[in-house]
Amino acid sequence: MGYDVIIAGASFAGLAVASRLRGKVLLLEPHAIGEHQTSACAIPLSVAEKLGLMDSVLRVLRRLVIHARSSKMVVDLSAHPYCTVDYKKFCCGMAAGVRAEVLRAHVLGRERNRVATTRGSFEGEILVDASGWRAVLAGRKGTRVSRRKFLSFGIETVAAKAGDKLGFWSDLGILFRGFAWDFPIDTGSRIGLASYVDDHRLRGPLEIFLARWGLARGEIHGGYFTSALRAPIEQDLFLVGDAAGQCLPLTGEGIRPAIYFGQACGAVIQRILNGELTLEAGREVYESFVLRHQRLYRALRFAQSLGVKLPPRFTSFLLALACTGPSLSYILPRYMALADTNNLHAARGSELQGKVHRSRGRAASC
Ligand SMILES: Cc1cc2nc3c(=O)[nH]c(=O)nc-3n(C[C@H](O)[C@H](O)[C@H](O)COP(=O)(O)OP(=O)(O)OC[C@H]3O[C@@H](n4cnc5c(N)ncnc54)[C@H](O)[C@@H]3O)c2cc1C
């Protein structure tokens, strides 16, 4: 069966690509949409606003507290508030604006334009890999991102802890070369730990961290996220989100870039389908768009590598320096402009409104 576009993965990146398409599109995803949460889902409030998904917001957070070795810095985020969102509601909101067939299947691989899945194989004129760090269509072998030092690993749990600020810990004494977080939601907090160097032994440290507040570990979720860009076009394939290493190094913020680059990728592909661009020109447009952001990714990657290499007291000193008024007023707007939410389009965009996706297979959709 032939499709204009086949997208592997229907989370933030895959849904963002699909939201800009009007052709014959197939979305391949092993889980029901919004069912497989791996992330703490803290995003700039402007993402939820621009996408028109405010109903998924659980808590708005206007202050960030960074805990370093011997200091605590409070950052006023009122100019760039963040929020935590309900993953299922958010993804279902995105899916409501998508006009595509959704098939609940694992992608196994591809041969040229034919994608093999657990539910048969399908041919697409254009293929998009939005399958997260695994990059199931592109593969990771031989790439920079296949190396452990370019992958971070995190886990989190939900605990009954009240709060109204985003909390980050750069040095717990129990976990070096990573960070911890506390992101309040409506009914408690998402509390987790991440290692910049692919260290999986995080359950014990998470328990110690939770014990500070007398809390016990509940159900855990998590996984890998990337910390270095890889080529967004590989041979004839478009890569987006974590599959393209677009998660921001240092902070591990990957949802905003996945949606930002995903919508841009979808818009370029639609221009190819419209005949406004050749496939080759479209690939070049998307590639150069992504690579325009490379310098800032490198800067964040450099800051992350300092966090890995330097002793914690130096990291604390640098963090304190970064949080002073003049440094912060330089850094924060640039960080926010990296995947500028002003460029985002409503999830249920007017040109697509009412064209709700159809699904094949059980429980593929919301
Ligand atoms: C513990 C943790 C906490 C995090 N917290 C935050 C946070 O608070 N804020 C933030 O911005 N970022 C956070 N991140 C990073 C963020 O989750 C990722 O950067 C983001 O999810 C990337 O989106 P994506 O759509 O590219 O990939 P993913 O969200 O990973 O989605 C990939 C999709 O592909 C599907 N897939 C996988 N294999 C196959 C296959 N074989 N065939 C078909 N489909 C497949 C998956 O089921 C999934 O739906 C966190 C990450 C972790 C691990």
Per-residue confidence band for 282, with pLDDT thresholds at 50, 70 and 90: very high
User: How far lies 207's CA from each of 178, 191, 201, 220, 254, in Å?
Assistant: 16, 10, 11, 11, 25
Q: 166: Cβ below 6 Å to ligand 1?
A: no
Measure 295 CA to ligand 1 centroid, in angstroms: 23
Predicted pLDDT of residue 201: 86
Q: What is the Cα–Cα distance from 43 to 93, expressed in whole angstroms?
A: 15
- Confirm if 18 and 27 have CB atoms less than 8 A apart: yes
Domain limits of the chain? Answer: 2-360
Substitution site in 179, 225, 336 for ligand 1 pocket (most atoms within 8 Å of beta carbon): 225
200's tokens: 């999986």
235's tokens: 């041979």
Q: 154: Cβ below 6 Å to ligand 1?
A: yes
Q: What is the Cα–Cα distance from 364 to 359, expressed in whole angstroms?
A: 6
pLDDT tens for 123-172 read: 999 999 999 999 999 986 656 555 566 889 999 999 999 999 999 998 77
pLDDT tens for 14-59 read: 999 999 999 999 999 999 999 999 999 999 999 999 999 999 999 9
**Ligand 1 atom index nearest CA of 194:** 1
Local structure of residue 118 (DSSP, 8 states): B
Predicted pLDDT of residue 356: 45
pLDDT at 287 over 80: yes
Q: What is the Cα–Cα distance from 63 to 60, expressed in whole angstroms?
A: 9
User: How far lies 122's CA from each of 20, 89, 101, 126, in Å?
Assistant: 21, 29, 12, 12
Predicted pLDDT of residue 144: 56
pLDDT tens for 54-106 read: 999 999 999 999 998 778 999 999 999 999 999 999 999 999 999 999 999 99
Substitution site in 90, 200, 246, 255 for ligand 1 pocket (most atoms within 8 Å of beta carbon): 255
- Confirm if 171 and 177 have CB atoms less than 8 A apart: no
Three-point CA angle 184, 187, 191, nearest 5°: 40
- Confirm if 8 and 15 have CB atoms less than 8 A apart: no
182's tokens: 């506390």
CB neighbours (10 Å) of residue 50? 18
Substitution site in 28, 31, 38, 47 for ligand 1 pocket (most atoms within 8 Å of beta carbon): 38
pLDDT at 122 over 70: yes
Alpha helices (H) along the chain: 12-19, 45-51, 87-96, 203-211, 255-273, 279-291, 294-309, 312-322, 325-337
Measure 267 CA to ligand 1 centroid, in angstroms: 21
Domain 2-360 has CATH 3.50.50.60: yes
Looking at every residue in the chain, the average pLDDT score rounds to: 91
State percent of the chain over pLDDT 90: 77
Per-residue confidence band for 325, with pLDDT thresholds at 50, 70 and 90: confident
- Confirm if 32 and 103 have CB atoms less than 8 A apart: no
Q: 202: Cβ below 6 Å to ligand 1?
A: no
Closest to 145 (Cα-Cα) out of 126, 162, 132:
132
Q: Which helix (H) or strand (E) holds 145?
A: none
194's tokens: 């991440």
Predicted pLDDT of residue 176: 63
State percent of the chain over pLDDT 70: 91
